[in-house]
Structure 1
Amino acid sequence: MVSSIANSLGFGSGLDVKQLVTDLSNASRDPKIARMTDLTQTNQTRISALAQARADLDGFADSLSQMVDDGTLRSTPTVSDESVLGATSRAGLSADSFAATVVVNQLARAQTSYSGVVADKAAAIGAGTMTLTVGGVAKTITIDATNNSLDGLAGAINASGAGVTASIIADEGGHRLILKGPTGEAGAFTLTADAGADPALSAFATGGGMTEGQNAANAEFTIDGVAFSRASNIIDDVVPGMSLTLKKAAPGQPVDIGASRPLGMIKQTVSDFVAVYNQLKKSLVAASSLSGPTSGLRELERELGGLLHKVISSHGSINQLSDIGISTTKEGLLSVDNAKLDKALEADAGAVEALFNPRRDATHTEQSDPGIAFVLDAIRDKAVGVNGAIDRVSKSLDTKKENLADQLEKIEMREDAYRKRLEKQYGSLEAKLAAFKATQSYLEQQIKLWSNQGND
């Protein structure tokens, strides 16, 4: 008998047992593997479609938010003399009604004081304590053996947290200590030597040895004759939606400021909104159809479809996308009626702008005037959040992907075991057939031999 099943296959009996085992095992394995491959590919297609839908949703929401954040859709301030002041827009600027005249009488400035020339900035200047007072708040400046020098005094002042900056500059014959406080009248400061300090420290006191370079002052300006005083030259709290930067004092020189609305950009944004929405809609439809009728993506589709008639501003007549000519086609996509959009812009361009770039002030909040970007962000965050529509489908598809991989592994293990059983069974059969054939051959020889002996 042969020594192993492997060696017995295909020998002795005349049957191609090896091919027979291969055919039988393939007949069992191939349909199962093909089915699992189809299921895996279908699931991967669903995962890819969902990923595309999420990417489109993220891109849609982020692009709108970015346009609002960077001011692309905002009314733009206009300034008649930018050498005197500059202006930038913030949410809330109304181009329809804003116009004013500004006169800059004085710029805000910080107090500066400087010392006399010190020959060696590393040499001892005297030990003791000094008091640095800014806006009524006092800080103790200690000079001892560890920092007894001009460098040490500057470092101690900077480390005090008082808001005064100490610098050392080179000057003819040595170095000077320069102190600069915060901008505005409230930033005025004093530096005094305390009782018991080395008398030499008085050379760095503001009321003695230090010389005042300039005093602290507020910006003084008027808007349409109304006087204002601010500690900074950047004014954010006077004109709604506008930040002013005072550049130079120009008493008696009026500067006109106003705002212009980017009508072309608004129209382009409406067109872009419709185009990107339609792309997102198609991605969601594709992902939803692949993910099955119970998919949570239908919920997201409904929420997006509701954008058209959702009130997103507090304006009386132009407060939803349908008011500016955006409508739904029979396929569920959006289209824009440019004639209706132009009519809305002509009637109240500010209201159209507010749909995309909502105003923000005491009466225009995220609740009363969310704007399309805010609403879309909320829909996106809900969908991708824990147990959101996209999150649920994504988890389901990932779980199915893992299950399919496990099933495939088990099928391969079962089919491998089945093939080994076939090899054993048919190997045994091969051995028996070979033995039978050998016996048959022996008997045939004996019969032939007997027959020949009988003839003799």
Structure 2
Amino acid sequence: MVSSIANSLGFGSGLDVKQLVADLSNASRDPKIARMTSLTQANQTRISALAQARSNLDGFADSLGQMVSDGTLRSTPTVSDESVLGATSRAGLSADSFAATVVVNQLARAQTNYSGIVADKAAAIGTGTMTLTVGGVAKTITIDATNNSLEGLANAINASGAGVTASIIADEGGHRLIVKGPTGEVGAFTLTADAGADPGLSAFSTSGGMTVGQSAANAEFTIDGVAFSRANNIIDDVIPGMSLTLKKAAPGQGVDIGASRPLDMIKQTVGDFVSVYNQLKKSLVTASSMSGETTSLREIERELSNLVNKVLSSHGSINKLSDIGISSTRDGLLSVDNAKLDKVLASDAGAVEALFNPRRDATHTEQSDPGIAFALDAIRDKAVGVNGAIDRVSKSLDAKRENLADQLEKIEERESAYKARLEKQYGSLEAKLAAFKATQSYLEQQIKLWNNQGND
């Protein structure tokens, strides 16, 4: 009935009741929807500003960390004869004062033994146990009906966990077993057939059975006349920040090693740091200047501003960004005094490098020498971590977005109900007006009829 009345609004009474209902309902709904739309747009603007600030912070920290980890800012070792040895840098190389002469007298070798020829690698070789000893640690090698073959022996050695590798190679007329230990003298090994083992296993003993291919030996080398002996040919524990790879023995031949510092890259990185910092700062200012939840982002702004005077290395006089010519402007952005930077690079380039690529050894840790990348990571991790500034703001804005959506849905429901009530009320009014109009028309006709009768 209501639907029928609503569909006939405006008919019979002469009034545009349908338009009247639309105007009244719109007058009630439109201001509320406009307000909710404005609040939703403002909240979305804050969400977008926060996302941009976080993206800039992540990008800043990640790109700087990548430059440090991939060695872009590290000093590069130089070697006078790379056929004898190679050198790569690690965090901690002190290039300004490093130079040395290396003599490689002997390379580290692994012991190898090989067996006589066995016609068929799957043929039985005998059963029993053998003892494999490496560095004083003995392992039992068991050969039984399940693995009685050259292949079975190789697999048992490899599965022993002794650090010795066994392999089978094809040779003219059959196959040989080759056993190889770890490099260095500590990798020397023995393989013996135990008492009670079948005689065939003795052919695979290192004493009287297999032939010695080469004996185990340490790498022997000197650095500026100081002798060193190592089990491997990759030497990481002698020169701080530098890894040496010994390639061939060259007794009596000195190889000069040193390092060059990437000064141009360091200077460019300082400029890039300032540029990206300012971009990040602006995005944070934009986000935090908005009213509401994003104002708490000023906490990150303050921590970033403190980076300029934060101690980043254990150097006595050049340990802060302000020491190399970086300073804050009145609006909180950074600028570089290139003249001061050039002067510091000329006097102590290593100290400048250490701000971006800090040394790492027993005395130079992330606490004593955090470097700018570690310090920036700490700010980022704190901000995005649980209950950090960005985390708090993000959760608050998301909750507000959901709340605004709920409010908008409820407003639409209430306004739809209000419009339905208006349609019902004015539909009833329309029906009454139509009835009154019909009555009026009837009375007018009767009066006219009465008048005409009276005139007769």
Calculate the TM-score normalised by the size of structure 2. 0.96
Q: Equivalent residue for 1:409?
A: 409
Instruction: Name whichever of 431-440 and 79-88 sits farther off.
Output: 431-440
- 1:81-100 map, 5 Å: 81-100=81-100
- 1:117-132 map, 5 Å: 117-132=117-132
SS of equivalent to 1:105: strand
- 1:215-226 map, 5 Å: 215-226=215-226
The change in CA–CA distance for 1:240 and 1:441 in structure 2 (over 3 A counts) is same
- Structure 1 contact 236–242 (Cα < 8 Å) conserved: yes
How far apart are the structure 2 equivalents of 1:160 and 1:129? 13
- 1:70-89 map, 5 Å: 70-89=70-89
SS of equivalent to 1:146: coil
Residue 82 (structure 1) shift: 0.5
- Structure 1 contact 2–8 (Cα < 8 Å) conserved: no
The change in CA–CA distance for 1:3 and 1:243 in structure 2 (over 3 A counts) is closer
- 1:56-455 map, 5 Å: 56-292=56-292, 295-455=295-455
How far apart are the structure 2 equivalents of 1:113 and 1:304? 62
- Structure 1 contact 95–259 (Cα < 8 Å) conserved: yes
- Structure 1 contact 128–194 (Cα < 8 Å) conserved: yes
One-letter code aligned to 1:235: I
How far apart are the structure 2 equivalents of 1:36 and 1:111? 80
Residue 68 (structure 1) shift: 1.1
- Structure 2 contact 293–396 (Cα < 8 Å) conserved: no
Residue 98 (structure 1) shift: 0.5
1:95-132 deviations in whole A, cap 9, x for unaligned?
11100000001111111112222222222222222211
How far apart are the structure 2 equivalents of 1:358 and 1:312? 8
One-letter code aligned to 2:284: L
One-letter code aligned to 1:63: S
Residue 84 (structure 1) shift: 0.5
- Structure 2 contact 182–188 (Cα < 8 Å) conserved: yes
The change in CA–CA distance for 1:253 and 1:354 in structure 2 (over 3 A counts) is same
- Structure 1 contact 93–359 (Cα < 8 Å) conserved: yes
One-letter code aligned to 1:97: S
SS of equivalent to 1:296: helix
One-letter code aligned to 2:422: L
- Structure 2 contact 2–424 (Cα < 8 Å) conserved: no
How far apart are the structure 2 equivalents of 1:446 and 1:288? 79
- Structure 1 contact 104–246 (Cα < 8 Å) conserved: yes
Residue 222 (structure 1) shift: 0.4
SS of equivalent to 1:208: coil
The change in CA–CA distance for 1:3 and 1:69 in structure 2 (over 3 A counts) is closer
One-letter code aligned to 2:251: P
Residue 293 (structure 1) shift: 8.1
Residue 208 (structure 1) shift: 3.0
1:318-345 deviations in whole A, cap 9, x for unaligned?
1111111111112211110111101111
The change in CA–CA distance for 1:356 and 1:2 in structure 2 (over 3 A counts) is closer
SS of equivalent to 2:142: strand
1:300-356 deviations in whole A, cap 9, x for unaligned?
111111111112112222111111111111221111011110111111111111111
SS of equivalent to 2:252: coil
Q: Equivalent residue for 2:17?
A: 17
How far apart are the structure 2 equivalents of 1:271 and 1:118? 69
The change in CA–CA distance for 1:298 and 1:198 in structure 2 (over 3 A counts) is same
- Structure 1 contact 2–431 (Cα < 8 Å) conserved: no
How far apart are the structure 2 equivalents of 1:257 and 1:363? 24
Instruction: Name whichever of 64-73 and 219-228 sits farther off.
Output: 64-73
Residue 447 (structure 1) shift: 2.6
Residue 385 (structure 1) shift: 1.2
How far apart are the structure 2 equivalents of 1:194 and 1:422? 105
- Structure 2 contact 10–18 (Cα < 8 Å) conserved: yes
Instruction: Name whichever of 356-365 and 183-192 sits farther off.
Output: 356-365
Residue 29 (structure 1) shift: 1.0
Residue 444 (structure 1) shift: 2.4
Residue 10 (structure 1) shift: 2.7
1:10-56 deviations in whole A, cap 9, x for unaligned?
32222222222222111111111111111111111111111111111
One-letter code aligned to 1:40: T
Q: Equivalent residue for 1:30?
A: 30
Root mean square deviation, CA, Å: 1.6
SS of equivalent to 1:87: strand
- Structure 2 contact 46–294 (Cα < 8 Å) conserved: no
Instruction: Name whichever of 264-273 and 305-314 sits farther off.
Output: 305-314
Instruction: Name whichever of 412-421 and 220-229 sits farther off.
Output: 412-421
How far apart are the structure 2 equivalents of 1:174 and 1:3? 99
Percent of pairs with identical residues: 89
Structure 1: give runs of 5+ residues left out of the alignment: none
Residue 362 (structure 1) shift: 2.9
1:206-253 deviations in whole A, cap 9, x for unaligned?
223222211111111000011100011000000011000001111111
Instruction: Name whichever of 32-41 and 197-206 sits farther off.
Output: 197-206
Q: Equivalent residue for 1:6?
A: 6
How far apart are the structure 2 equivalents of 1:98 and 1:383? 40
How far apart are the structure 2 equivalents of 1:293 and 1:388? 13
One-letter code aligned to 2:258: G
How far apart are the structure 1 equivalents of 2:321 and 2:89? 24
Q: How many residues align?
A: 456
Residue 291 (structure 1) shift: 4.6
How far apart are the structure 1 equivalents of 2:130 and 2:46? 73
Residue 8 (structure 1) shift: 3.1
Residue 3 (structure 1) shift: 8.0
How far apart are the structure 2 equivalents of 1:105 and 1:314? 38
How far apart are the structure 2 equivalents of 1:11 and 1:173? 113
How far apart are the structure 1 equivalents of 2:53 and 2:373? 18
